[in-house]
Structure 1
Amino acid sequence: MSKALRLSEKWFRFGLWLVAFVFASFLIGLGGTVVANLPKVEHRYELDDFIDKPAAEKLRTELRALQEKRQVAQDAHDQAQLKVNAARANSGAARDTFNSWLSTRHATQRPEQDRELIERTQALEELKILERKALADVERQQQHLLDARQAEARAQRDLHELEKDASEKLNVELRHQELRVFGYRLLLTLPLLGAAGWLFAKKRHSTWWPFVWGFIYFALFAFFVELVPYLPSYGGYVRYVVGIVITVLVGRYAIIALNRYLEKQKQAEAMPDVERRKELSYDTALARLAKKVCPGCERPVDLANAAIDYCPHCGICLFDRCGKCNERKSAFARFCHACGAAGQGEG
């Protein structure tokens, strides 16, 4: 239709479409803010809202104490292990020294060294005793550490069971909350869709059409962006069913609209030629001619063929002769392009 419009009218229409899109963008921003704040209407549930708080607090306190006890046992075990290592090192060094001295004693066979042999043997035995005591202390600390770890693990398991039960209750409540928030979205979006449908049917060609189309775009955005992605799935059943319902409704509307259009076209084509051309607006006729289709039935016509004056499909007059200069011109033209005389298409 743009080819049939005046230059200034094209720019005005372009500007009005910009108004429609800007209006829609502000509405979308406002709607997005409202929708984003919808979850705040509901309480933000957490795990502690569903757990047995006295039992959980008792277990957490016990767990903290056991963790501290386990850390103390770990530190004591590490210290005992260091003492064992030191005792083993002392005992090993003394044993090596004793073996070296004993080898020398066998080589010299000096009786006066028997007393020293006894003293060295006793000193070595004392080091072995210290090593065994240190090892026993390590084993005792290992037992304490194992007990602390097992007690901590039991407390962790008990707390995990409490949290597991609470998590199941939390998930159930979150699903219910999700459905409620979706209901809020639905209550907000459906009236917008209804209003947009009414505006599309009744007001899209009115004087205020930029605001009408801006609101329609906003409603469509609210439906497809703010509502559809949040449809509860239930394994895909809900979304597929909603898709089927929407497809059926849109398809039904399209089929009814198509049949209504075809019936209207049949009635129009049955009217006399003069009345049919009066029913067509000037801009509509020029827009269809610019697309090389018949203004009456919208079927393709070879308008460049000078032999064609009537539509071969519906019989409407496409070209006639100027009453003043007899020049061939469009039957829908208001003035003759050759002499400027008013044509039959005027009015």
Structure 2
Amino acid sequence: MIDRTFDSTTSRAPIDGPPGADPSARGAVEDRIRAEPPVLALKGARQIFKTPRGEVPAVAGVDLEVRPGEVLCLVGESGCGKTTTARMAAALSEPTSGSVLYRGKDVSEMDRKERAAFRRSVQYIHQDPYASLNPVRTVYSTVSAGLRRHKLVKDAKEARRATIELLERVDLTPAEDYLDKYPHQMSGGQRQRVAVARALAMNPEVIIADESTSMLDVSIRVSLLNTLGRLRDELGVGFLFITHDLAVAKYFAWRGEIAVMYLGKVVEQGATPKVVNDPRHPYTKALISAVCEPDPDLARNKERVRLRSADIPDLTDLPPGCDFHPRCPIYVEGDCDAVRPPLERAHDRSLACHVVTRE
């Protein structure tokens, strides 16, 4: 059923904690990420919604790649297009233009058999653990549904055994205590672990986690992130991890990449240590400066980025030039408001900023 080995006795730390991570390893992050060919990729993906007020470019040309065993974390304000991008990547919605590639082949051009393989290999974990599980199905029925649907188990006995293994893999132990429970009989964290087990049942190559920890308490959030990190390391699963919380992004994607989105476009992308510790795009700097600092002494000395405006432009009436220029603290008149900056390599990362790329 599941051909990837799992050692429940492993003691290897699943995630390099950001504060204690080995500084000598940071320079090799991007080299390791680029070594593997992408399993899932978006090329110039756009999603435009038609509304009575006009067309809304929710995603305006995004290029992303997810590789085996690596994390690509997509961060940004609410409404910037993160979830729409995730839904396109999972083929839950079709891009208006551009393409979604699975192992180099356009998903829209796949035949029925290839599409079924894609559906099994790319799994989606939703944000709300209360709404993502069928309330009239037991945990066993929920987790084993895919196994039975795709004939990955021979009979009910094997399905039950496989479900127990999956629940143990996501730290729901003893698994027998959860098999016959319904969603309302479990906590939010337990529900989300059931959702993870359901995704793992298909032996996926990529998991798309859309704000999957945002509705959980902080202690439960860290525990679930550790579980996901262990699964990433042991099973070689790639993650497209969606979050608005930079602290979560830093913790989970420390050995991967962060892509920062603003109004449907990626404005900065690079290895997580570089983006978090040395942000270059003014929008990324503003996001990081807005993160709460619990230490009073550090909070008093923390550099604050003051934006020119707090108002986000209307997607139906975007400004000329750079979308961020009405709020940008380093705005240059006649340049930033005239030409839209392309996403290009600069300062060991990808940046979309006229001013920063010339430095």
Shorter-chain TM-score: what band? under 0.3
Compare the two structures and name the one with the higher helix fraction.
1
Compare the two structures and name the one with the higher strand fraction.
2
Question: What's the TM-score, normalizing by structure 2?
Answer: 0.25
Question: What's the TM-score, normalizing by structure 1?
Answer: 0.25
- Higher Rg: 1
